[in-house]
Amino acid sequence: MASSKLSTILSSLLPLALCTIAFAFAITATISREWAVRHNYSEPEADWSQANLIRTETRSPFVVCGTVGETYVCTQYTGSGSCKSLAALDDNQDATYGDERLCQQIHWAGRLAVASTTFIGIGFGIALCMSLVATLALLSPAVLQAEDTDEQRGTTTDPKMESNVVVTQRRRPRPHRKQKYLSPMAPYINALLVAVLITGAILYVLAQFYGVLAFVQSAPDNGAFAAYGGNTAPGEAKYMGPWIQGKALSVYGSVAWFAAVLTALSAAWVWRLPSGRQSPL
């Protein structure tokens, strides 16, 4: 009985554990500056190596960094407002800082990332409450007494009584023990949990999509670099690599939405949904 109860309690905590991972990585990805990175070298392209790497530039939906003269400057953005990337660093050169298209994609990536993190955060709060309530219900004296009663009933040796019990259970399935001590609204709260987590996961996938468009596809000089096999922008020394995906865009964001999907699936498996399906745990 002890091992079974421990297994059930751990199962009830599984959605919370997965949602904690999703929320932590969503926050980390959203506030990180490493959505895109570009390496600058002290030697021309033919001699690029880690030995002559002098600086790594970063960009994110809320931080745009660039070199003004000899100074490396990072400008903070908000998640909303008008598109002002052309004047972000007091420089109107589209070839350096991007145009209105890039700015629009950056803002969409940022807004979607914030929206996704918000939904996953709401899911984390719901999962925390559901896990605590389920765990406390499983440890309550009423549930323990019910389990003892069930065990005593299971020790009967009368074939007629056993047959009657089997027939009764087949005709009218008994609700799972732990469900009897949860709120009648629990299935609907669980459905809300699944909905907000799936929504959060979809939003972060869209944020990654706009992030790739903005920081990899639309980033200045990336097109020339891909088309001509190097940085051929007029007047630019061939010391700068292309903009590529950083850890926040490729790793942290992916872990966030994938963990959110796993949380939704585990919540649908561990706890009841409004359809009336009983939890197998």
Backbone angles phi, psi at 60, to 5 degrees: -150, 175
User: 107, 84 in Cβ contact below 8 A?
Assistant: no
Cα–Cα distance measured from residue 176 to residue 255, given in angstroms and rounded to the nearest whole number: 33
Cα–Cα distance measured from residue 256 to residue 259, given in angstroms and rounded to the nearest whole number: 5
Backbone angles phi, psi at 92, to 5 degrees: -100, 20
Question: What string of pLDDT tens digits covers the 281 residues of the chain?
Answer: 556 666 666 677 889 999 999 999 999 999 998 898 888 777 766 667 777 777 788 888 888 776 666 777 777 766 654 455 444 444 444 444 556 777 788 888 999 999 999 999 999 999 999 888 877 877 765 554 444 554 445 444 454 444 444 444 444 444 444 444 456 788 899 999 999 999 999 999 999 999 998 888 877 665 555 444 455 555 455 667 778 899 999 999 999 999 999 999 999 988 877 865 544 43
pLDDT recorded at residue 81: 47
Any residues with CB less than 8 A from the CB of 237 and at least 6 apart, and which?
44
Alpha helices in the chain (DSSP H): 2-31, 94-97, 100-138, 141-154, 159-171, 186-212, 222-228, 247, 253-270
Assigned token pair, 140: 């309550």
Assigned token pair, 6: 């421990």
Q: Give 49: exposed, middle or buried? Use CB within 10 Å, 0-12, 13-18, 19+.
A: exposed
Assigned token pair, 145: 């007494």
pLDDT recorded at residue 235: 47
pLDDT recorded at residue 9: 66
pLDDT recorded at residue 80: 56
Cα–Cα distance measured from residue 216 to residue 218, given in angstroms and rounded to the nearest whole number: 6
pLDDT recorded at residue 73: 75
pLDDT recorded at residue 281: 39
User: 211, 35 in Cβ contact below 8 A?
Assistant: yes
The distance of Cα 115 from the centroid of its chain, to the nearest Å, equals 11
Assigned token pair, 23: 């929320």
For tokens 């009657």, the residue is: 164
User: 112, 208 in Cβ contact below 8 A?
Assistant: no
Which pTM does this prediction carry?
Answer: 0.72
